[in-house]
Chains A and B, each alone.
Chain A
Amino acid sequence: TQLLEQSPQFLSIQEGENLTVYCNSSSVFSSLQWYRQEPGEGPVLLVTVVTGGEVKKLKRLTFQFGDARKDSSLHITAAQPGDTGLYLCAGQYGTALIFGKGTTLSVSS
């Protein structure tokens, strides 16, 4: 059973476009994290959201945690080629971090 569903699985856009990636679950998480992973490297933490309804901004990236702490979204404004990578959401579930399958983003110039 996949606890965290990410959509879309793949996204290919032009530089300058906006995009949103979704992370949904039927389970409640105490916190949710977003990671970015580049080929040949491990994931790198972008943000942790803890409070229902929380919104965090990291330059052109906006992260939102759903009111019920079951879902989250990542919005990128004016995407750049450097944003290309695999974006993973992960929910804290006991001692384990449960990962979604990820969204592969490709931004072309």
Chain B
Amino acid sequence: GAGVSQSPSNKVTEKGKDVELRCDPISGHTALYWYRQSLGQGLEFLIYFQGNSAPDKSGLPSDRFSAERTGGSVSTLTIQRTQQEDSAVYLCASSLRSAGYEQYFGPGTRLTVT
């Protein structure tokens, strides 16, 4: 079966522009996570969706970051007014159920803000 897919794989944008990153989780997985991986850093948790519950947004670094998950499936991470420090690889993961279950990661979107 298909794994987690993310698009685009690479995105170059100018400082100040908005970007949208997409994640298609594994079918049937109710939990979805977004992480950010900067050079030399581990994965930084951003946001977590579980079923129809309110998302855990505690990892979002600023109000320029937002995410939604439509129909319990596809998720979009939006970064408004991008800054150079937003440059990183953005990874999405899904798991069958909530915390504690194995997370399956997508290949990531490499965002470069010039």
Partners in one complex: yes
What class of interface size applies to chain A in its complex with B? 20 to 34
Q: Which residues of A contact B59 (CB under 8 A)?
A: 96
User: Looking at B33, B58, B99, B104, which has the most chain A CB atoms within 10 Å of its CB?
Assistant: B99
B102 at the interface (CB under 8 A from A): yes
Q: What is the minimal beta-carbon distance from B87 to any residue of chain A, in angstroms?
A: 16
> Chain A residues near B77 (CB, 8 Å)?
none
Count residues on chain B whose CB falls below 8 Å from chain A CBs. Answer: 26
Q: In the complex the two chains form, what is the Cα distance from A33 to B45 in whole Å?
A: 15
Q: Please report which residues of chain A, range 74-109, place their CB below 8 angstroms from some CB of chain B when the two chains form the complex.
A: 88, 90, 92, 94-102
**Are A99's CB and B42's CB within 8 A?**
yes
Q: Are A95 and B42 in contact (CB under 8 A)?
A: no
Q: Once the chains are docked, how many angstroms separate the CA of A88 from the CA of B35?
A: 14
